[in-house]
Amino acid sequence: MIVTGKGGVGKTSLAAALALLSARRGSRTVLVTFDREDTDHSIFGVRLKYQPKEVHERLAVSRVDAFEAVREYVRRKMPFSSLYEGFFEGRVFRVFAAATPGFEELMCLGKLYDLAMGSGFDRVIFDAPSSGHVKILLGVPDATLKVVQVGPLNHNARKIQHLLWDADKTRIIVAAVPEEMAIREALELACYCRDERRMAVGPLILNQVVRKRFSSAEMELLTGMDTPSEVLRAAIGAAQSEYQLASVQDQARQGMTPWPDVLEVPRILPDEESDGGSSRTLIDEMADPLRILFGNPS
């Protein structure tokens, strides 16, 4: 499952929630991020390494790294691989990699392929780059096949391409928030993946949806209330703000009409009394509306 979308739509949180839900449903799952350096995962708080690290029962996290992927490939495929270790650390190789269009993306896709097809994990959830970068990423196998006609690069690019095309094994999930520009960009990306990259797409996830708690008539009554209570006036003000936001979102959500499969995830506010609004708590709550993606429990 490749989770992507415009920056700021909660893509990382959604990917983490999907991974946690997958693991709880009994699938050995790895959540992979596209980080070039060892950093702490923003949700699970562990140091991201190239090798998957378990953070929950049946759930591991890792990051993809082009240079580590090349090293791993050479160790598996080439005799006397230890002789090449110094070369990969050197400046020449890094300059070559930086100057070769699509090299890093192809190596990272190759690692994802290995995780999906031969690592013992039942499911790979890829917290992919945002919209613009993911288009480049998904187009790399096709571009490689057009340029490289034979050899290992051609062979690997073809394997990756077939996995991306396989609707039974790979799905793109595009996330957005209920804002006009975010929805437009999500629809453009979803159509690109479906029509140009020939991939299975869906559903589109609309994150941080605010529901109306009051009817328009009820809001008029609340607005017209004259009360000496500061607490009540503050509560009415908060209700007005939320109603206005929900109204704006309702209008923006009309733009989702062209896409047949949309899953809405409500806005979840942190509980101030629970560890300062723990990210793990939020992920637990986000997982509930995402259950439909995995069908009935086995």
Comparison of pLDDT for 75 and 206, the residue scoring more:
206
Q: Percent helix, strand, coil in the chain (nearest 5)?
A: 55, 15, 35
Domain 2-210+256-294, CATH number (from 3.60.21.10, 1.20.1050.90, 3.30.70.360, 3.40.50.300): 3.40.50.300
- The pair of structure tokens assigned to 220 is 């008029």
The pLDDT value given to residue 298: 44
DSSP, residue by residue, 152-174: HHHHHHHHHHHHHH-TTT--EEE
Q: How many residues does this entry show for the chain?
A: 298
16 within 8 A of 44, measured Cβ to Cβ: yes
135 within 8 A of 5, measured Cβ to Cβ: no
∠ CA 267-270-271, rounded to 5° = 130
- The pair of structure tokens assigned to 152 is 């290992």
Dump pLDDT digits (tens) for 243-266.
999 999 999 999 888 888 899 999
Dump pLDDT digits (tens) for 187-214.
999 999 999 999 999 889 999 999 999 9
- The pair of structure tokens assigned to 90 is 């050197």
Domain-wise residue ranges, the chain: 2-210+256-294
Dump pLDDT digits (tens) for 133-142.
899 899 999 9
